[in-house]
Amino acid sequence: MATTTPSSTFRAPRITHRFVPVWRRNFLVWRKLALPSVLGNLADPMIYLFGLGFGIGMLVPEIGGVSYISFLAAGMVCSSTMNSASFEVLYSSFSRMHVQRTWDAIMNAPVDLDDIVFAELVWAASKALLSGVAILIVIAVFGLVDSRYVLWLLPLIFLVGLSFGALGLVMTSVAPSYDFFMYYFTLFITPMTLISGVFFPAEQLPAAVQVAASLLPLSHAVELARPLLLGKVPSDVVLHLVVLAAYGVGGFWVALGLTRRRLLG
């Protein structure tokens, strides 16, 4: 097995077409349990959407001129995409890397670690896209979607999946066990979900918290998804896209470097 030097650990990623068979391998394994996987990804956001949407919606009839459940729908699409990508790169990718040693077996073929990690990222975003589309279909059935710009949500969901998949891979690259991921969810994912405009407008938070929220990727995802879902053109589109892309590219670069050090160092 090749080794890395300190100067090469964080070199630029070298991605080739060989990541595609690795992505396909993950897809074929997932396909055997596709239905329960999709239903599992749907259950939690649907419970929040309809439980809080109708429950709190009775107390808060409208937010920003729309019903509370319509306001909440965009937040659920984004948070579900985030969770789907995160769970995939944390628990599933960690299993393939550390427990099952699948990555070691793949590297016996002419496939580099860069391609394997990139395949994991793209697969997580692909799975998140499936989850996001499933939720979109459900909320569309209930009349919570304005169809004018809804198709633009599809590339956005994929980008959000890439962003959070990359961040999750950073955690996977340093995790000693599954228990380690609870810190990530407790200290990062959950607080971010609460302050990023998923359940209520971020504008009502204290100024310092608003500043913190504006630095987080979920806030930018929600700022794009909510107007699109309501049939409006988002503001500051370039800014939001750049932030999400920066998290994706930067997170992947760091995750790949840490994974090289762990497996090849």
pLDDT tens column, 52-93: 777 887 788 788 788 888 889 889 999 999 999 999 999 999
Q: What residues pair up with 153 in beta bridges, in sequence order?
A: none
Residues 206-215, mean pLDDT to the nearest whole number:
94
* Tokens representing residue 101 in the block: 């040693």
Q: What sign does the dihedral 184-41-65-231 (CA atoms) show?
A: positive
pLDDT the model gives residue 141? 86
Q: What is the pLDDT confidence band of residue 252, given thresholds at 50, 70 and 90?
A: very high
The rounded distance, in Å, linking the Cα atoms of 126 and 54 is 31
Residue partners of 106: CB distance under 8 A and separation at least 6: 22, 25, 116
Which of helix, strand or coil describes residue 12?
coil
Domain ranges of the chain: 14-263
Q: What is the pLDDT of residue 5?
A: 58
Chain position carrying tokens 């909440």:
72
Average pLDDT over residues 205-230: 95
Is the separation of the CB atoms in 33 and 88 below 8 Å? Answer: no
Q: How many CB atoms lie within 10 A of CB 28?
A: 9
Is residue 123 predicted with pLDDT exceeding 90?
yes
* Residue-level pLDDT at 14: 92
Question: Phi, psi at residue 88, to the nearest 5°?
Answer: -65, -50
Work out the average pLDDT over 224-240: 94
CB atoms near residue 64 (< 10 Å): 11
Average pLDDT over residues 201-221: 94
Helix, strand, coil % in the chain, rounded to nearest 5: 75, 0, 20
Name the pLDDT band for 47 (thresholds 50, 70, 90). Answer: confident
The residue that leads in pLDDT, 235 or 38, is: 235
pLDDT at position 142 is 83
In the structure, what pLDDT confidence band is assigned to residue 256 with cuts at 50, 70 and 90? Answer: very high
pLDDT, tens only, 159-198? 999 999 999 999 999 999 999 999 999 999 999 999 999 9
Of all residues in the chain, what percent carry a pLDDT higher than 90?
A: 67
Q: Kindly report, residue by residue over 29-44, the tens digit of the pLDDT.
A: 998 887 777 777 777 7
- The mean pLDDT value of the chain amounts to 90
List pLDDT tens digits, range 5-37.
Answer: 555 788 899 999 999 999 999 999 998 887 777
Residue 1 above 80 pLDDT?
A: no
- Rounded Cα distance between 161 and 118, Å, is 13
Position 206 pLDDT exceeds 80: yes
Calculate what percentage of the chain has a pLDDT beyond 70.
97
Specify the 3-state DSSP secondary structure of 188.
helix
Query: What is the identity of the amino acid at 215?
Result: L
